[in-house]
Chains A and B, each alone.
Chain A
Amino acid sequence: GQQVQQSPASLVLQEGENAELQCNFSTSLNSMQWFYQRPGGSLVSLFYNPSGTKHSGRLTSTTVIKERRSSLHISSSQTTDSGTYLCALELSGSFNKLTFGAGTRLAVCP
């Protein structure tokens, strides 16, 4: 079965609204990373977050290993936040071999 599941699959926001993106995983892991994939395709690293909560500007990532979930919170969304958000887990015993979720496609409307 699928090891990494992201929800929702897509999301439409009005500018200024907040968003909570979820990533659930079914196996033990070394680490969790979040990426933003631009509409053109390139990937930007957002967080390396194996556990706990991390902040970066309007973004917050929280990983709870026991509950096998990680979340990405976007506050005060902007149109430039539009794109696809990917979570990826590194399985225990692997060397940075990331298993990616299918992504959450976010559209922020003005």
Chain B
Amino acid sequence: DPKIIQKPKYLVAVTGSEKILICEQYLGHNAMYWYRQSAKKPLEFMFSYSYQKLMDNQTASSRFQPQSSKKNHLDLQITALKPDDSATYFCASSQGHNERLFFGHGTKLSVL
């Protein structure tokens, strides 16, 4: 029974389009994150949120916009998609700072 739900599991998009990746956690955590794993590259940090406030942003492009409508939601909107955006996007959460992270199963995005 997954406690961090990511939707969809797989996503195919055309170059230039816009997609929203959904993430909800039911662990009662206060902090949520997005990480990305591209082919043959290590997982890389994108954003961290705590109590729905942006804590850190390592994504240079404004095409990536996190959206937090509730404490247990952190969606990721990606606009003007490019083939280089193809990757698996992982949502994660933790109780707070200096706590272990728990990851969702990921959304595999392919941009054609």
Chain B residues near A35 (CB, 8 Å)?
103
Q: Nearest Cβ in chain A — how far from B12, in angstroms?
A: 17
Q: Which of A33, A42, A95, A100 is within 8 Å of B48, CB to CB?
A: A95
Decide if A100 touches B105 in the complex (CB within 8 Å): no
Chain A residues near B106 (CB, 8 Å)?
41-42
Decide if B31 touches A97 in the complex (CB within 8 Å): no
Query: Is A13 engaged at the interface, CB distance under 8 Å to the other chain?
Result: no
Query: Is B62 engaged at the interface, CB distance under 8 Å to the other chain?
Result: no
Complexed CA–CA distance, A103 and B43 (Å): 10
Decide if A86 touches B98 in the complex (CB within 8 Å): no
Given known A-B contacts A86-B43, A102-B42, A96 and B101 have beta carbons under 8 A apart? yes
Decide if A45 touches B42 in the complex (CB within 8 Å): no
Query: Is B69 engaged at the interface, CB distance under 8 Å to the other chain?
Result: no
Chain A residues near B99 (CB, 8 Å)?
48, 96
Chain A residues near B90 (CB, 8 Å)?
43
Q: Nearest Cβ in chain A — how far from B15, in angstroms?
A: 24
Decide if B33 touches A96 in the complex (CB within 8 Å): yes
